[in-house]
Amino acid sequence: MTKLLMKQYASFNLSSLTIVNGLGKIKYWFTKISCGLLDQGFFVLSNVLLNVFLLRWLSPSDYASFTIAFAVFLLIAGFYNSLILEPMSVLGPSHYGSHLPEYVFVLLRLHVTLTLTLSSILGFSALAFFIVGSQLASTLLWLAATTPFILCVWFTRRVGYLFLMPVWSLIASSVYCVTLLTGVLGLFLHTTIIPGAVLLTMGCASITASCIVGVLIFNTYATQLNHAPHLRPQAVWTRHIEYGRWTIGSTIALWIGANAYIPVIALFLGNPQVAGFRAIQSLISPMNQCLATFSHVLLPYISRRCSEIGRKEVKEGARDLFLLNFCVASLFLLLLSNYGSYILPLLSGQSFYVEYLWLLPYFILTGFLGIFVQSSVVLLMAIQRPDLIFLGRSTGALVSLICSLLLGWHYGMAGIAMSMTIGSIAEGIVLYLVKHHEPQSFRPVLWDNVTSYFNRFTILIKPKMLLAAMVCRSWP
């Protein structure tokens, strides 16, 4: 009887310990996920509120100049993300997990080198605009000076996830949000806001947040950094380039599809039209940021399910993501379609932008198409096919760029809005095809089809070529 009671007591203690451990794991991961969501929320909030403030306080010409400069910054940030941030998230835990502090220190030096190089190129471009006499010269020069500092908070937030400390990322994003909005409000109260001053404020806010989190990281890992093995920056850089080569192409294609309309509008219609286009686009940006956050949070889960149960079953996870995105986007776009005419004057505070509300249906249609595109991209990322993502992105970007040049020349702003929708349709079709008929590599998608068509063309024209050769030989 005593032995039976002891066994029951031991089994009870074991089950209690299992429950406690399970609750501890739930609490641990709930804290991590909550910090990650709050980090994304603060960063998105800072960008959305900054855009609203600039929409209200800047003149249409200054807002257009800032929009063009920020589009250029997004291209630079895309290169930086492809070569530094995304490889760091994958290669850091897998290849440098035993000495992450020194790996981050090496990446910090690569950050300085890469951002200074990109800023130098941008500075020479600003000099060329100054020689031509463009109004964008001063804004681009300010952007060249502040880009290395603005990207510091991007680097710091990703380092927090690398060390499995999203609370550091939360601290960085919250400090950045408060400092940025306070600085912009101070500019509005004490001086005239210009795009260069806004970029300088973004750089100062980024440096402030990065220094605070950098001190926390250094105090935590100073001992490991002093005794860590030496890493060669050249070897780290080579590995990053090998990983990010497809991502660079996708980044350029994504930038063309999302921001190439801005210079086209400035070329054909002028800067005030850029401000109107961007004002309507800003109504959709919160939805896009929200969908990107869902993808960022659910991608690790879908990737893990892909490695555990295979690629075929993981499509259910992508389908769930699509349904989630569809429900959220449908609610947002429904509210926007009914109350957009009231929201835009409330946000902008200027009647100038109201006359561009006729563009809203094009953005709503493109937003619905983006739901499918985003879900397909997440699925292809989970099965580690960046080459197919590049194929879809590049197709959509090429179609939208060609259509924007042709339709924008003939139909103005309406043609550019139509080209945006056409590009999204082309991208969605290509991603659907490669998702359901997944090729083994990127090469058969392009090269084999090109070769087959070339062979057919050769068979058709070979008799004509022989006849032409006989005529040439018989010609006196």
Q: Dump pLDDT digits (tens) for 318-340.
A: 677 778 778 888 888 888 888 87
Burial, 130: exposed, middle or buried (Cβ in 10 Å; 0-12, 13-18, 19+)?
middle
For residue 323, the model assigns a pLDDT of: 80
Among 50-54, 114-118, 164-168, the least confident range: 164-168
- State whether the Cα torsion 424-425-429-435 is positive or negative: positive
Instruction: Of 83, 18, 46, 40, give the one whose Cα is nearest residue 202.
Output: 46
Who has greater pLDDT, 214 or 321? 214
Q: Dump pLDDT digits (tens) for 396-446.
A: 888 988 888 888 888 888 888 888 889 889 988 998 888 776 655 444 444
High-pLDDT (> 90) share of the chain, %: 14
CB 371 within 8 A of CB 291: yes
Can you tell me the mean pLDDT for 247-254?
80
pLDDT band, residue 462 (cuts 50/70/90): very low
Q: Dump pLDDT digits (tens) for 67-98.
A: 888 888 988 998 898 889 888 877 777 677 67
CA distance 445 to 344: 44
pLDDT band, residue 116 (cuts 50/70/90): very high
pLDDT band, residue 392 (cuts 50/70/90): confident
Whether 166 has a pLDDT exceeding 60, the answer reads yes
Is 59 strand, coil or helix?
A: coil
Q: How many residues does the chain have?
A: 476
Whether 172 has a pLDDT exceeding 70, the answer reads yes
Alpha helix (H) ranges present in 58-165? 60-80, 86-95, 100-132, 136-162
- State whether the Cα torsion 131-132-138-143 is positive or negative: negative
Instruction: Of 230, 234, 243, give the one whose Cα is nearest residue 113.
Output: 234
Instruction: Of 43, 161, 173, 175, give the one whose Cα is nearest residue 104.
Output: 161
CA distance 52 to 400: 27
pLDDT band, residue 4 (cuts 50/70/90): very low
Mean pLDDT, the chain, as a whole number? 77
